Amino acid sequence: MTDIDIAQASRPVLTAKDFASDQEPKWCPGCGDHAVLQQLKNVMPDLGMPPEEIVFISGIGCSSRLPYYMATYGVHGIHGRALPMASGLKTSRPELSVWVATGDGDALSIGGNHFIHTLRRNLDLNVVLFNNEIYGLTKGQYSPTTKIGLKTVTSPNGVIDHPFNTAALTLGSGGTFFARAMDRDGKYLRSVLHRAAQHKGTSLVEIYQNCPIFNNSAFEAFAGQENKDERTIYVEQDMPLVFGKFRQKGIRLDGSTPVVVDLSKGDISENDLWIHNERDIFKANLLARFFDDPLTVENFLPRPFGVFYVEDRMPYEDALTAQIEIAQKKGVGTLEELLKGDSAYNIK
Asked if residues 53 and 96 have their Cβ atoms less than 8 Å apart, the reply is yes
- For the stretch 266-272, contacts whose Cβ atoms lie closer than 8 Å and that sit 24 or more positions apart, written own/partner, are 270/240, 270/242, 271/240
Taking contact as CB under 6 A, which single stretch among the options 77-85, 114-122, 209-217, 279-287 is the one that binds ligand SF4? Answer: 209-217
Q: Is residue 33 close enough to count as binding ligand SF4 by CB under 6 A? A: yes
Which of 106, 278 has the CB closer to ligand SF4?
A: 106
Residue 28 lies near ligand SF4 (rule: CB under 6 A): yes
Using DSSP's 3-state secondary structure scheme, residue 40 falls into helix
CB of 33 to ligand SF4, least distance (A): 5
Range list of β-strands (E), 80-202: 97-103, 125-131, 177-182
Least separation, in Å, of the C-beta of 201 and ligand SF4?
29
Kindly state whether residue 177 participates in binding ligand SF4, applying the rule CB under 6 A: no
Report which of 69, 38, 35, 33 is spatially closest to residue 51, judged by C-alpha positions. 69
Among residues 62 and 66, whose Cβ is nearest to ligand SF4?
62
The Cα–Cα gap between 80 and 117 comes to 13
Residue range at the interface with ligand SF4 (CB under 6 A); choices 25-33, 50-58, 161-169, 252-260: 25-33
Task: Out of 37, 55, 57, 62, name the contact with ligand SF4 by CB under 6 A.
Answer: 62
To ligand SF4, the closest distance from the beta carbon of 220 in angstroms equals 15
Q: How many residues of this chain bind ligand SF4 (CB under 6 A)?
A: 12
Binding of ligand SF4 by 193 (CB under 6 A): no
Length of the chain equals: 348
CB of 177 to ligand SF4, least distance (A): 25
Q: How far is the CB of 137 from ligand SF4 (least distance, A)?
A: 6
Cα gap 284→277, rounded to integer Å: 8
Pick from 99, 214, 243, 305: which binds ligand SF4 (CB under 6 A)? 214
Separation of alpha carbons 182 and 184, rounded Å: 5
Interacting positions 124-153 with ligand SF4 (CB under 6 A): 132, 136-137
- The DSSP bridge pattern shows strands 73-76 and 97-103 to be unpaired
Among the listed residues 17, 205, 204, 199, the one whose alpha carbon sits nearest the alpha carbon of residue 97: 199
Distance, in Å, from the CA atom of 9 to the CA atom of 120, rounded to the nearest integer, reads: 37
* Residues 6+ positions from 56 with CB-CB distance below 8 Å: 66, 67, 70, 72, 73, 74, 75, 99, 100, 101
Supply the minimum distance, in Å, between the C-beta of residue 31 and ligand SF4. 3
* Nearest to ligand SF4 of 64, 118 (CB atom): 64
In the complex, minimum distance from the CB of residue 29 to ligand SF4, in angstroms, rounded to a whole number: 8
Does position 106 interact with ligand SF4 (CB under 6 A)? The reply is: no
Buried-exposed string 196-208: b where 16+ CB fall within 10 A, e elsewhere: bbebebbbbbbbb
Please report whether residue 54 would count as binding ligand SF4 according to CB under 6 A: no
Instruction: Report, in Å, the least distance between residue 71 CB and ligand SF4.
Output: 21
Q: Of 138 and 191, which has the nearer Cβ to ligand SF4?
A: 138
What is the smallest separation between the CB atom of 27 and ligand SF4, expressed in angstroms? Answer: 4
CB nearer ligand SF4, residue 36 or residue 284: 36
DSSP, res 235? -
CA torsion, ordered 142, 114, 311, 144, to nearest 10 deg? 10
Question: Which residues are at the interface with ligand SF4 (CB under 6 A)?
Answer: 27-28, 31, 33, 62, 132, 136-137, 211-214
